[in-house]
Structure 1
Amino acid sequence: MARRLHAGSVIPEFRYDTPYRPQQSFYELLEGEKPVFFVFLRNFGHPITRNYIMRYIETAEELRSARLACVVRTRPHVIANAIPEGAMPYQLICDAEGVLYRFFAVPEESSKLKSYSLEALKILKAAKRQGFSSAKNEPQQLPLTLLVAPKGRVLFAHYGSSLTDLPADCEAMQRVAAELLPGIRPDWL
């Protein structure tokens, strides 16, 4: 059953695939002293996804109060063939079929006017100059950003209203974590 998440929601345990390992435990990923940001993006080959993945790689050291995992609608072998294991400073979760996207009610927008932002237009224009062309009349997968504590407790949830309505970089995630986390811990509510 699809449901939008909010602060206080609890995500049940599930299994996911990474490009390098199948059937990983969601709750095991959440174990530790720091909560995890989950950023739901489009497929790994989409220019906006690539742009944000690169930003997150370049600014990974800025995220000190939390960890990061990006969720992409891509088959694991596609990424495994393109990126060597250990090259990314954060986790990639592959959900090619969109099971998590549907379960967490990650929205799609059929109107480009509603889903595009000036930043999205700039990224897509640059990609078009390099040969990228988007599929006509395809719904636009909007982003979702979550901050999740152990045992699946959602501390923060933001459903994006445009293709680029997500953290600009790891420094932006750090600001959110720094604002939310002081005083939260008793044992993650």
Structure 2
Amino acid sequence: MNKYNLNDQMPNFSVLTGTGQTMLSSLVSRKRRTALLLLRYAGCRICQYDMLQISNAYEDVLLSGGQVLIVLQSSLPSIQSLQEEHRYPFTIISDERGVLYRALGVGSALSAEELSSPAGQDKLERAVACGIVHGAYEGNELQLPAAFVLTPNLKILFAHYGSSAGDTPSPLKLAALMRA
């Protein structure tokens, strides 16, 4: 499993969005840095909570000069339904078969216990308090998350491989990384 690090070049993957098949480079801003987050799937409460937090802080992301792309192991219809319901200000990429996760070396937990953490439990409790309900299971249930910050030419400025379901950088940290 090949992991990517600071200053590596992100491959220019073919990706699927609500507007069709395109290249990752066409979604990455020509003038701004881009945070690429690989979460789990549309029905995951923690993932929904992370997306809500990013959506709520998107003004900070924009002020940092950045943008966010989210990858989910969900079908395009699931993502389109989620996007229609929440009107997220970022693009969501469908990777139903987990091709990007494998290509970027984003691993899986060995068990549900390994997938959980105190930070993940805290996010889960916050998600429940926000009224977020668990949706359909899709993809690899034990999938771990990852986060990257990319330059316009896909150079990696930040790479983080999550150790549990809730191990993703906060929107404020992402904004700071895109500002740097």
Name the TM-score class by shorter chain: 0.7 to 0.9
Cα 1:71/1:133, change in 2 over 3 Å: closer
Give 1 or 2 for the bigger CA radius of gyration: 1
Which of 7, 28, 33 does residue 31 from structure 2 map onto?
33
Normalised by the length of structure 2, the TM-score is: 0.84
What is the aligned partner in structure 2 of residue 105 from structure 1? 105
What is the aligned partner in structure 2 of residue 9 from structure 1? 8
Segments of structure 1 that go 5 or more residues without pairing to the other structure are 182-189
CA displacement 1:64-101 (0-9 Å, x = unmatched):
23111111111111221343399221111110100000
Normalised by the length of structure 1, the TM-score is: 0.80
What is the aligned partner in structure 1 of residue 87 from structure 2? 87
What is the aligned partner in structure 2 of residue 152 from structure 1? 154
CA displacement 1:22-67 (0-9 Å, x = unmatched):
1112112224211100011000111111110111111110112311
Q: Structure 2: which amino acid aligns with 1:141?
A: Q
Query: What is the distance in 2 between the residues matched to 1:158 and 1:130?
Result: 26
Query: What is the distance in 2 between the residues matched to 1:84 and 1:15?
Result: 23
Size of the aligned set, in residue pairs, is: 173
Which of 139, 158, 161 does residue 163 from structure 2 map onto?
161
Report the Cα offset of residue 12 of structure 1. 2.2
SS in 2 for 1:108: coil
Identity of aligned residues (%): 23
Query: What is the distance in 1 between the residues matched to 2:86 and 2:142?
Result: 30
Segments of structure 2 that go 5 or more residues without pairing to the other structure are none
Report the Cα offset of residue 143 of structure 1. 1.0
Please tell me the root mean square deviation across aligned C-alpha atoms, in Å: 2.6
Report the Cα offset of residue 16 of structure 1. 0.8
Q: Structure 2: which amino acid aligns with 1:171?
A: L
